[in-house]
Amino acid sequence: MQSALFRPEQLARELPKEAETEPGEFPRYFVAATVSSAPPGWMLRVGGLVARPGRYPLAALERLPRTDVRVRHYCVEGWSAVASWHGVRLRDLAEAVGADARAEYVEFRSFDVDREGRAYYSSWDRASALHPQTLLAYGMNGERLAPGHGAPLRLYSGVKLGYTMVST
C-alpha cells in the first residue's frame, strides 16, 4: 500500500520558524532505561552494497552538504511537534559511499539498546531512504543534537513516523 501511495519527490510541507514547538516541549524518545550518550569514539558504520564501506566520524558527515528541514513530526502515540533539523541528506551520503542501485532496502541500527540488550533498528525502502527530506540529522533548532533526541546522529524524515527514525 505504501509503495502505491508514496511519491519519491513529493515533499512534506515545510513550516515557518514560528511553528516550532517551544524549546523543551518536543518529546524525547529512546529505548534504553535512561538516555544514552554515544560510546567513546563513535562513528557511523556503513556497509552492505556500497563501493566504499567504512566508519565515518561525525566530522566527515558534517563536511558533506548540509540540508535543513522544518516539518511536522508525527508520533503513533498521538502527538505531533515541529523542529528545525539539520544534517546530511541520506541520498548525499549514499552517493559519497557509492551505494549500489540493486539495494532495495536500508537497515539502520542504533548504538542504543533496550533493557534486554537488543539494538533498536528500522528498515526502510530505498525510495523513502533517498527522499530529499530524509536526513542523518546532527542538529535540532540550531543546536547540536542532544542525547534525548538521538545524538550524535539521528535518522530523520518528514515522510515517516517518528518511531522509525533510529538514532544511529
Residue 3 has a pLDDT of: 64
pLDDT in tens, 53-79: 999 999 999 999 999 999 998 888 888
Residue 61 has a pLDDT of: 96
pLDDT band with cut points at 50, 70 and 90 for residue 31: low
Average confidence (pLDDT) over 36-40: 77
Residue 34 has a pLDDT of: 67
Identify the structural domains of the chain with CATH numbers, from first to last: 52-168 (3.90.420.10)
In angstroms, rounded to a whole number, what is the distance separating the alpha carbons of residues 96 and 122? Answer: 22
Buried b (16+ CB within 10 A) or exposed e, 32-64: eeeebebeeebbbebeeebeeeeebebeebeeb
Sequence-separated contacts (24+) of 114-122 with Cβ below 8 Å: 114/31, 114/32, 115/32, 115/33, 120/31, 120/166, 120/167, 121/166, 122/155, 122/163, 122/164, 122/165, 122/166
pTM to 2 decimal places: 0.89
